[in-house]
């Protein structure tokens, strides 16, 4: 739209026709008070706080819902405005309790601030104030609804951003109450944002309740590392402890929202299960020792076992995907320096010869502009909440979304088609789609596809990909252990090329992108994670590995690591029984927000962060531990004074994932396929130790879902245990498929 000029408080301002007045004043830095207006939510205009004087209009106009016009003259600060703002303020304060001294919002309260500026110092209201009885709406959000001013930001957040309307206004007039439906409570994976949008102390953080005043804390920017977004956050700290996390605006990454996982996982930092001091195992007994002694012991172990015997190739390094870019880099550098290429972070993959390799070539912000999406093997809402939020935006602006999944999930947007397909048939289905697409462009049909008869479903999927101008194909984490994983990725890549689609690979999460970039994968002469454990090495360095959660076959991994002649150095931030069983040295390392480093998100954006707090007692950042260990081993090239020097050594050439050229396998097999997934709040050690998160419904997810036929085949019934997880029989799961979603250690083979 064309630029027009309007006059605000006597100054000429240019803006786009049709913009709301408040957007213009905000951009120009002119302060207009408001409660219900929020830049990312629809306009409600119900608080009336933003009244301004528009020349020619008989009454003051709400700036949030007044579109601007050429030549408009606005006053934001004259007597008329002041009088109306004062009057509105008086009304808003009629029922608001004067309990600021015991209110958690005190000091960061929009109402308090505005009341200071616009309110009267004496109340003329002598009648009884409204009191609202609070219900428990879940472990994350504390309600004090007597303080509510009915701005409906939380209601609109649920309906517009969260995708499920959870809060609503019941009753009317004096009796209007903002509440969720009965005792259902709030269940959204983004619910914590309601705390951020609430302008008063009605919705506050439950874990943070009565902890501190906001002005007592330091605010430090940081990056959340639980998923592929790398949401920008502010950690608020007090005396070396992270006390609360709030969202930080970054339109190209997380806009102004963060997931509950990013917001509440910090609680785990103060968990009693933290590993706090270096320990070494002497004659089977654990002994707490100084860092010098522990590192000396580790160094001796390595030199005696492998380095001095000329068996550097018997040393292996495994890391979890939550490591920072710098940690990945230093560990692989250390290994390569001593002459070993046994390096891997892909611990949950059954067959590392058959992996999904697919590039992500679309930006996060770009996702909301696509007109068609094909999702394969993912429940993005719980796995990648912020990516799902972008997809929801795309859907709301008209994108059609097709899904090929092994089970029906709860999407918070309209799906064009939801195809529930047996894992063993997904490759075949994609092959059908590819053949149709090749046929449509009269391209040559490869031998492997020649005999395929395409189904109607495939026709519809192909048609929509062909029709779309700007489509994206998303490959999710349920496909990583598919027997035809690499073929699925190849087919997606081919389909994307033929239809000019972009691709998004969300099959590996957290900081996996950094693992790829630093080549934390075996070199030509190296062994991958599975091969290391199968052959049995003589020494291992493990970086934040929790075997029961990280390995696809924990029992086997633990057995291999527990071998008598294997020397195991474990760097962990939390204690773990299995780790204590197989390790010889345990080095306590800093967790999230206690170390500096970098996260690489799905679009390859490197986001570096400083430590928000120092690690407790004797705990050290892993990059420092690795650097000192390298120094002790007298390796060259480890003269780093801080993690930034490490970062600058890593050349960010953007890691290109080469699509495998293995022979296409699209044969449909009849075996039962188990898809195992850690539940959304059990993805890493920190969130597993965050008590409020664990108490939520999502945190409690623990079930092996399958349909009746599969259950019969496996001879299990509802609530029986399958792999130690209670069976839940539902027909929304594809045939021959068990979908395990668990927050507990996995027992047995997957």
Q: 397 vs 671, which CB is nearer to other proteins? A: 397
* Cα(38)–Cα(17) distance, integer angstroms: 20
Q: 24 vs 148, which CB is nearer to other proteins? A: 148
At its nearest, how many Å lie between other proteins and the CB of residue 184? 8
* Cα(583)–Cα(574) distance, integer angstroms: 14
Structure tokens at 614: 């120092």
Q: 162 vs 547, which CB is nearer to other proteins? A: 162
At its nearest, how many Å lie between other proteins and the CB of residue 718? 23
At its nearest, how many Å lie between other proteins and the CB of residue 42? 15
* Cα(625)–Cα(327) distance, integer angstroms: 10
Q: 409 vs 640, which CB is nearer to other proteins? A: 409
At its nearest, how many Å lie between other proteins and the CB of residue 178? 10
Q: 159 vs 628, which CB is nearer to other proteins? A: 159
At its nearest, how many Å lie between other proteins and the CB of residue 692? 23
What's the start-to-end Cα distance of the chain, in Å?
Answer: 57
Convert 36-59 into a string of H (helix), E (strand) and C (coil): CCCCCCCCCCCCCCCEEEECCCCC
* Cα(736)–Cα(715) distance, integer angstroms: 13
**65: Cβ–Cβ under 8 A, 6 or more apart, which residues?**
20, 43, 45
Q: 395 vs 742, which CB is nearer to other proteins? A: 395
* Cα(336)–Cα(314) distance, integer angstroms: 12
Torsion (CA) 691, 696, 697, 699 in degrees, nearest 10: -30
Could you tell me how far CA 461 lies from the centroid of its own chain?
Answer: 29
How open is the CA angle 174-177-181, to the nearest 5 degrees? 150
Cβ-based burial of 116 (10 A; exposed 0-12, middle 13-18, buried ≥19):
exposed
* Cα(183)–Cα(647) distance, integer angstroms: 49
At its nearest, how many Å lie between other proteins and the CB of residue 169? 6
At its nearest, how many Å lie between other proteins and the CB of residue 159? 8
* Cα(370)–Cα(399) distance, integer angstroms: 6
Which residues of the chain form contacts with other proteins (CB under 8 A)?
Answer: 159, 164-172, 180-182, 184
Q: What is the DSSP letter of 391?
A: H
* Cα(681)–Cα(647) distance, integer angstroms: 29
Q: 177 vs 548, which CB is nearer to other proteins? A: 177
Q: 189 vs 544, which CB is nearer to other proteins? A: 189
At its nearest, how many Å lie between other proteins and the CB of residue 96? 22
Q: 125 vs 181, which CB is nearer to other proteins? A: 181
At its nearest, how many Å lie between other proteins and the CB of residue 39? 24
Q: 381 vs 605, which CB is nearer to other proteins? A: 381
As a 3-state breakdown, the chain gives helix, strand, coil percent values, each rounded to 5, of 35, 20, 45
DSSP 566-614: -EEEEEESB--HHHHHH-SEEEEB--TTSS-EEEE-TT--EEEE--SSP
At its nearest, how many Å lie between other proteins and the CB of residue 158? 8
567-572 and 141-143 strand pairing: unpaired
């Amino acid at each position: 739209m064309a630029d027009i000029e309007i006059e605000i408080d006597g100054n000429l301002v240019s803006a786009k026709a049709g913009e709301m007045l408040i957007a213009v004043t905000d951009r120009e830095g002119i302060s207009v008070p408001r409660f219900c207006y929020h830049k990312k939510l629809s306009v409600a205009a119900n608080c009336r706080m933003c009244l301004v004087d528009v020349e020619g209009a008989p009454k003051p106009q709400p700036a949030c819902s007044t579109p601007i016009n050429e030549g408009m003259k606005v006053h934001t600060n004259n007597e008329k405005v002041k009088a109306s703002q004062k009057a509105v303020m008086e009304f808003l304060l009629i029922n608001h309790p004067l309990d600021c001294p015991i209110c958690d919002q005190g000091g960061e309260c929009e109402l308090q601030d505005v009341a200071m500026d616009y309110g009267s110092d004496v109340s003329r209201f002598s009648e009884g104030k409204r009191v609202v009885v609070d219900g428990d709406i879940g472990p994350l959000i504390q309600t004090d609804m007597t303080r509510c001013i009915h701005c409906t930001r939380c209601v609109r957040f649920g309906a517009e951003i969260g995708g499920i309307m959870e809060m609503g206004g019941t009753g009317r007039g004096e009796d209007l109450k903002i509440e969720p439906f009965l005792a259902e409570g709030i269940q959204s994976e983004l619910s914590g944002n309601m705390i951020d949008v609430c302008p008063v102390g009605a919705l506050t953080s439950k874990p943070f309740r009565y902890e501190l005043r906001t002005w007592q804390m330091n605010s430090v920017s940081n990056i959340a590392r639980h998923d592929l977004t790398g949401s920008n956050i502010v950690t608020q700290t007090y005396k070396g402890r992270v006390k609360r996390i709030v969202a930080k605006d970054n339109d190209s990454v997380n806009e102004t929202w963060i997931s509950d996982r990013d917001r509440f996982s910090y609680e785990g930092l103060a968990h009693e299960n933290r590993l706090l001091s270096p320990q070494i195992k002497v004659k089977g007994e654990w002994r707490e020792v100084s860092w010098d002694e522990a590192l000396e012991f580790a160094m001796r172990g390595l030199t005696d076992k492998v380095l001095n015997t000329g068996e550097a190739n018997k040393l292996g390094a495994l890391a979890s995907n939550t490591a920072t870019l710098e940690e990945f880099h230093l560990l692989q550098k250390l290994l390569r320096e001593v002459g070993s290429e046994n390096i891997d972070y892909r611990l949950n993959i059954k067959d590392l010869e058959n992996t999904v390799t697919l590039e992500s070539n679309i930006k996060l912000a770009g996702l909301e502009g696509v007109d068609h999406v094909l999702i394969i093997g993912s429940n993005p809402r719980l796995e990648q909440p912020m990516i799902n939020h972008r997809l929801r935006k795309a859907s709301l602006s008209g994108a059609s979304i097709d899904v090929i999944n092994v089970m029906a999930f709860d999407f918070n947007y309209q799906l064009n088609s939801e195809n529930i397909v047996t894992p063993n048939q997904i490759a075949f289905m994609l092959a059908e789609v590819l053949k149709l697409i090749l046929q449509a462009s009269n391209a040559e049909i490869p031998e492997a596809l020649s005999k395929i008869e395409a189904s109607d479903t495939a026709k519809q999927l192909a048609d929509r990909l062909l029709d779309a101008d700007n489509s994206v194909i998303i490959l999710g984490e349920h496909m990583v252990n598919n027997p035809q994983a690499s073929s699925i990725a190849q087919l997606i890549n081919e389909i994307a090329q033929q239809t000019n689609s972009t691709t998004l690979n969300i099959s590996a999460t957290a900081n996996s992108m950094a693992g790829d970039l630093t080549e934390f994968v075996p070199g030509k002469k190296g062994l991958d994670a599975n091969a290391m454990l199968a052959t049995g090495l003589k020494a291992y360095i493990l970086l934040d590995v929790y075997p029961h959660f990280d390995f696809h076959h924990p029992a086997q991994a633990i057995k291999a690591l527990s071998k008598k002649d294997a020397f195991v150095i474990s760097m962990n931030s939390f204690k773990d029984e299995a780790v204590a069983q197989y390790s010889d040295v345990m080095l306590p390392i800093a967790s999230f927000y206690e170390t500096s480093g970098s996260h690489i998100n799905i679009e390859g954006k490197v986001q570096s962060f400083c430590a928000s707090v120092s690690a407790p007692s004797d705990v050290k950042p892993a990059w420092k531990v690795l650097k000192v260990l390298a120094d002790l081993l007298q390796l060259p090239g480890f003269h780093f004074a801080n993690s930034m020097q490490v970062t600058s050594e890593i050349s960010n050439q953007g890691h290109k994932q080469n699509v495998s050229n293995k022979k296409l396998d699209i044969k449909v097999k009849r075996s039962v396929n188990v898809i195992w997934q850690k539940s959304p709040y059990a993805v890493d050690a920190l969130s597993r130790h965050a008590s409020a998160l664990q108490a939520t419904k999502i945190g409690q997810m623990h079930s092996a879902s399958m349909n009746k036929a599969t259950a019969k085949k496996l001879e299990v019934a509802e609530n029986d245990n399958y792999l130690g997880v209670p069976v839940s029989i539902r027909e929304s799961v594809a045939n021959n498929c068990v979908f395990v979603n668990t927050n507990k250690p996995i027992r047995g083979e997957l």
